[in-house]
Structure 1
Amino acid sequence: MGFIHRGTSKQISKVKTLLGLALSRLTAARRPRLARRSISRSDVGQLLGLSHLDRALHRVWPGYHP
């Protein structure tokens, strides 16, 4: 870990941030079904936030046709 002490505090903070992101992505990659569910929920939330009710309903219920 000696190489970390040679960097500036800005570099160390950037490395810590990138490590945190990498770890969260690895966790999601290990559990693909849960990752897809989380992404789908956020997609539906964004569609509802944009007032695209029909598209959100189609995501939740694929057989939905207005």
Structure 2
Amino acid sequence: MNTHKRPSTASALAPEWAWRKSSYSSGDTGNCIEIAELANQVGIRDSKIKNGPALVVPTRVWSSFVDMVK
């Protein structure tokens, strides 16, 4: 049985979250993401689209992803 939940989007909540740009972003090249940590979730969005949709995943999923790309 698959116990993984599909990521959700949260455009309505996204503006209220405390967003921060990736430390790997290089100025204004346009290739940046921002993340917001909230309780047991992490929001991920394109830094160029502040009011656009955000991908929301459980914190453990985000942590696994970051560990994998390191």
Classify the TM-score, shorter chain. Answer: under 0.3
Structure 1 or 2: more helix by fraction: 1
Q: What is the TM-score with the length of structure 1 in the denominator? A: 0.25
Q: What is the TM-score with the length of structure 2 in the denominator? A: 0.24
